Amino acid sequence: MQDLSFISNMSDEDAYLFKRCVRRLLDTTFLVKDKEEKLYQFVASESNRYDMNQYLAVIGYKVVVEEQMGVAMLQPNDDDKETVGLKRLNLYHFDQRHMKLLLVLWLLFLERMGYEEAVYVTVGEIIDKCRLYDIELTPVEFKKAYATFRRFCLIDYSDDITKEDGAVRLYPSLQFCLDIGQLKQVMAEFVEQEDFEAADMADLEEAESEESDE
Buried b (16+ CB within 10 A) or exposed e, 181-204: eebeebbeebeeeeebeeebeebb
Compute the distance between CA of residue 44 and CA of residue 66 in angstroms, rounded to an integer: 9
> What pLDDT was estimated at residue 117?
80
Fold that domain 5-80 belongs to in CATH: Aspartate Aminotransferase, domain 1 (3.90.1150)
Domain extent listing, the chain: 5-80, 96-213
Please report the sign of the dihedral spanned by the C-alpha atoms of residue 145, residue 198, residue 192, residue 210: negative
Pair 90, 74: CB distance under 8 Å: yes
| Strands annotated E in 149-212 | 155-157, 167-170
Cβ count near 29 (within 10 Å): 21
Local confidence pLDDT in tens for the 214 residues of the chain = 566 778 888 899 999 999 999 999 999 999 999 999 999 999 999 999 999 999 999 888 999 999 999 999 999 887 766 555 555 545 566 778 888 899 899 999 999 887 568 999 999 999 999 998 888 899 999 999 999 999 999 999 987 888 999 999 999 999 998 766 666 666 666 655 545 555 555 555 555 555 545 4
Q: State the burial class of residue 78 (Cβ atoms within 10 Å of its Cβ: 0-12, 13-18, 19+).
A: exposed
pLDDT recorded at residue 207: 55
Q: Is CATH 3.30.70 the classification given to domain 96-213?
A: no
CA–CA distances in Å: residue 103 to residues 17, 39, 41, 67, 96: 33, 27, 28, 23, 10
CA distances from 99 to 84, 139, 178, 211, 214 (A): 25, 16, 8, 20, 24
Alpha-carbon distance 171 to 119, whole Å? 7
Confidence (pLDDT) at 212: 47
User: For residue 206, what pLDDT is reported?
Assistant: 59
